[in-house]
Amino acid sequence: MSAPDRTRVILEDLEAVRENLLALSDDIWGGIDRQDLEAFDDGVRFMRSYLEEVAKFDRSAADLSALIQARKVPPTF
């Protein structure tokens, strides 16, 4: 695989993971029993932590994408 092809695949993968993490949060939230207050509280605590981690990943993925796209010439190591 050429460097431009690998770069394109990596950028697409990063975006796909970001989208999948957000979709998973909808699935998790939908599975929380809102009628059971203890389960609801546990679910909210989990979702807060989950969304904080997703936000960190999103920032890292955006930073990596920008860094990769800014490099026009593939590295030679």
Ranges of residues in the chain whose predicted pLDDT is under 70: 72-77
DSSP conformation letters of the chain = --HHHHHHHHHHHHHHHHHHHHHHHHHHHHTS-TTSHHHHHHHHHHHHHHHHHHHHHHHHHHHHHHHHHH--SPP--
The predicted pLDDT at position 2 comes to 83
Q: pLDDT value at position 7?
A: 87
Hey, where are the domains in the chain? Answer: 3-70
pTM as predicted: 0.77
